[in-house]
Amino acid sequence: MGKRDRLSGNEAVAVAMRQINPDVVAAFPITPSTEVPQYFAAFANDGLVDTEFVPVESEHSAMSACIGAEAAGARTMTATSANGLAYMWEMLYIAASSRLPIVLAAVNRALSGPINIHNDHSDTMGARDSGWVQLYGETNQEAYDNFIMAVKIAEHPDVCLPVMDCYDGFITSHSVEVIELLDDQDVKNFVGEYKPKAYLNNPNGKVSMGPLDMPAYYFEHKRQQAEAMKNAKRVILEVSEEFYKLTGRKYGLFEEYKMEDAEVAIVLLNSTAGTAKAVVDELRSKGVKAGLIKIRVFRPFPVDEIVAALKGLKAVAVMDKADGFNGAGGPLFTDITSALYGKADVKVINYIYGLGGRDVRTDDIEVVYDELLKIAETGSVKSVYNYLGIKE
Amino acid sequence: MKKINWDLNNISWKDITPGGIVEVPGSASDTITGEWRSDKPIWDKDKCKQCLICFPVCPDSSINVSEGKMVGIDYDHCKGCGICANQCPFGAIEMVREG
Amino acid sequence: MSKVVEIRWHGRGGQGAKTASLLLADAAFNTGKYIQGFPEYGPERMGAPITAYNRISDEPITVHSNIYEPGYVVVVDETLIDSVAVTAGLKDDGAIIVNTAKSPEEIAPKLRGYNGKVYTIDARKISVECLGKYFPNTPMLAATIKVTGVMDPDEFIKDMEASFKHKFASKPQVIEGNMKALKMSMEEVKGI
């Protein structure tokens, strides 16, 4: 059975990495993800893993090394944040389009500038169209669990896509909390042995990878990649079900918190969901029918499931910890409203919040629910695109 | 494993390898590029002194060599660039119009 | 204890306030509680004012914001009282614990009208006496356990001894000094 422990999010993910015992880890340090390769390098140095640890000179090289290693047939992982993720940019696309199931701990931090080391989601939101599966987690536990599941989702023959395990910098990465760890052997059995179909170091079937793709084929390969992303939705649910049987911890495409009879709801990602749950509890104790949806799987986006969950609500607030700079709303808001288009008539407003580590308190979340209740009562929306906790 | 289908116009996205993996690497020789040629090198065996300068300068590996000797030209892959004729010190290769 | 106990630590970079908050989380964890221990990160440098937090509860904790209305405040460096609003949001039914050679009666008037309990402890004296060096976090941790009552003092002492024995297996004199500092701090912390 599992072991109760207290770890920071980064420690927990490094432990997951040790338990998975990947073939290659290539990484370059950047706050707040640095601790992941740092702890892991110690594991490697102490002989607790068989991994080839590759300390590279930049994130571009880190992802390049991961691509090379994964293409050679090695189970490969890395970690980064913010500008490190941005510096991996072109390689992220190459990893995804080459269908290489690399796993990346993406410790969310504001993308400069102005330069800032604190948490928001501008880094991974920027990578949302790169072709990576993106899982988001509220707590150390979820960051750890998602990391283990990520391996299996990524390597599934119907997927073969890289996966980002996204969790909040500092709030989750550096905060010590209670966590339930799996036994090493259970993790090993769960992820199994990596058996890629085609890989460069296969002596029985030499292949070439990463070829020039002319107009005659390129589009078809992109279509294939899109299909893999669609398949990922089913595979994520299958892997999560298997994980549930092992641990008793249930994961879906998103978490519905007190949504059964909810009239108003907030939709958001990561650690702020926990703070918002405390507000939902408080409102419920006063008889207010408030609920919450925490997106776990952002790529692929659970379009139909979200429509079903939001249909019939009187008012919904989508909270984005990254601005879209399209003059109209954040990235999660855009996806939610486009999912609802033509399928459900729900009043949806958007709040940009917590940029650059602006702390989000229960009081802030109360402001959002108050606004939703006003909309539910009057049926009119004052403003769609809003900023929460900004100094006016 | 699927057989390579060289008909580029009729392959469904469902039937190509993921990520464009090339399952038969080093397969360039299976593609006939000799059709691209408008000038053709003609080798005169009698003038040839077997210096083999033509061999390294050919960009398409189309000088056939056997047991250290030039034995002919691979017209399936020669594109007719004429470098061999230009470089031959003995005038043993002459370019002529195709067709 | 059904409510969440919230503690805010004020220290200076390098004094171990963050470590103290993690040690407290550790100790409470070992008694089966749900815990959070987290620092508020800034551009930390040696000597810069820093803040760290603890939440301790019998129930799972979901809130992930900083703490604005703490039940307890621990001030690891008394010079911070003049430069940082250490009692901001501190509940009157809570308490503040200050590392100082002064008495609670001398400290209380400096706390910007705070009406709750004031405790003081001379962590410097205890640390130097027991450990030969100035490490304020061990004495402050013990005083905090005593004042907050988040866990049984005897259980805490036993737990810390086991943890020190594990950590400093090759340096028994360090274990002895630390244990002495913990016990002395619990006895010497005094309040009004």
Structural domain boundaries in chain B: 32-97
- Contact (Cβ atoms closer than 8 angstroms) between residue B52 and residue B84: no
Pick among A361, A363, A388 to test the C interface (most C CBs inside 10 A)? A361
Which residues of chain B are modeled with pLDDT < 50? 1-3
Residue in A closest to C21 by C-alpha: A176
- Contact (Cβ atoms closer than 8 angstroms) between residue A361 and residue C6: no
- The answer on pLDDT for C42 being more than 80 is no
- Contact (Cβ atoms closer than 8 angstroms) between residue C96 and residue C87: yes
Measured CA to CA, the distance from residue A322 to residue C65 in angstroms comes to 18
R_g of chain A computed on alpha carbons? 21
C191 SS3 class:
strand
A107 SS3 class:
strand
A178 with C29: Cβ contact below 8 A:
yes
* Cα-based distances in Å from C189 to A19, C152, C183, C186: 44, 16, 10, 6
Question: In this structure, what DSSP letter does residue A28 have?
Answer: -
Measured CA to CA, the distance from residue A371 to residue C93 in angstroms comes to 33
- Contact (Cβ atoms closer than 8 angstroms) between residue A119 and residue A110: yes
Measured CA to CA, the distance from residue C38 to residue C182 in angstroms comes to 23
How far is C-alpha A207 from the geometric centre of its chain's CA atoms? 32
- Domains identified in chain A and CATH numbers: 3-247 (3.40.50.970), 254-387 (3.40.50.920)
Other CB atoms within 10 Å distance of the CB of residue C142 = 28
Q: Which two tokens stand for residue A41?
A: 């390098």
B-chain residues near A160 (CB < 8 A): 18-19
- Contact (Cβ atoms closer than 8 angstroms) between residue A2 and residue A247: yes
Per-residue pLDDT of chain A (392 residues; tens, 9 = 90+): 689 999 999 999 999 999 999 999 999 999 999 999 999 999 999 999 999 999 999 999 999 999 999 999 999 999 999 999 999 999 999 999 999 999 999 999 999 999 999 999 999 999 999 999 999 999 999 999 999 999 999 999 999 999 999 999 999 999 999 999 999 999 999 999 999 999 999 988 889 999 899 888 899 999 999 999 999 999 999 999 999 999 999 999 999 999 999 999 999 999 999 999 999 999 999 999 999 999 999 999 999 999 999 999 999 999 999 999 999 999 999 999 999 999 999 999 999 999 999 999 999 999 999 999 999 999 999 999 999 999 99
* Cα-based distances in Å from A201 to A51, A68, A70, A97, A195: 17, 11, 10, 20, 12
Q: Which long-range contacts (CB under 8 A, 24 or more apart) does B2-7 make?
A: B4/B30, B6/B31
Q: Which amino acid would we find at residue B26?
A: G
Chain A CB within 8 Å of residue C88 CB: no
Measured CA to CA, the distance from residue A283 to residue A271 in angstroms comes to 19
The single residue listed with the structure tokens 């408080």 is A282
SS (H, E, C) A42-82: HHHHCCCCCCEEEECCCHHHHHHHHHHHHHHCCCEEEEECH
pLDDT at res. C1: 37
Closest CA–CA distance from residue C61 to any residue of chain A (Å): 8
CATH superfamily, region C5-191: Pyruvate-ferredoxin oxidoreductase, PFOR, domain III (3.40.920.10)
- For the purposes of burial, counting CB atoms within 10 Å of the CB of A23, is it exposed (0-12), middle (13-18) or buried (19 or more)? middle
A221 with B21: Cβ contact below 8 A:
no
C-chain residues near A179 (CB < 8 A): none
A174 with C25: Cβ contact below 8 A:
no
Residue among A176, A272, A277 whose CB faces C22 most closely: A176
pLDDT at res. C132: 92
Q: Which of C22, C18, C4, C14 is nearest to C150 (CA)?
A: C4
Q: Which amino acid would we find at residue A177?
A: E
- Contact (Cβ atoms closer than 8 angstroms) between residue C151 and residue C27: yes
CATH number for the region B32-97 comes to: 3.30.70.20
Measured CA to CA, the distance from residue A33 to residue A27 in angstroms comes to 10
Q: Show Cβ contacts of residue B30 under 8 Å, excluding neighbours closer than 6 positions.
A: B4, B24
- For the purposes of burial, counting CB atoms within 10 Å of the CB of C112, is it exposed (0-12), middle (13-18) or buried (19 or more)? exposed
Asked if chain B contacts chain A via 3 or more Cβ pairs within 8 Å, the reply is yes
Q: What is the pLDDT of residues A144-189, one digit of tens each?
A: 999 999 999 999 999 999 999 999 999 999 999 999 999 999 999 9
| pTM for the full predicted model | 0.91
Measured CA to CA, the distance from residue C63 to residue A201 in angstroms comes to 48
Closest CA–CA distance from residue A353 to any residue of chain C (Å): 13
**What is the domain partition of chain C in residue ranges?**
5-191
C-chain residues near A278 (CB < 8 A): 62-63
- For the purposes of burial, counting CB atoms within 10 Å of the CB of A107, is it exposed (0-12), middle (13-18) or buried (19 or more)? buried
Instruction: List b or e across A300-323, with b for residues whose CB sees 16 or more CB atoms inside 10 angstroms.
Output: bbbbebbbebbeebbbbbbbbbbb
- Contact (Cβ atoms closer than 8 angstroms) between residue C175 and residue C165: yes
R_g of chain B computed on alpha carbons? 18
Closest CA–CA distance from residue B15 to any residue of chain A (Å): 9
Phi–psi pair at C57, nearest 5 degrees: -155, 160
Give me the count of residues in chain A. Answer: 392
Residue among C22, C34, C66 whose CB faces A178 most closely: C34
R_g of chain C computed on alpha carbons? 16
Residue among A206, A213, A223 whose CB faces B20 most closely: A213
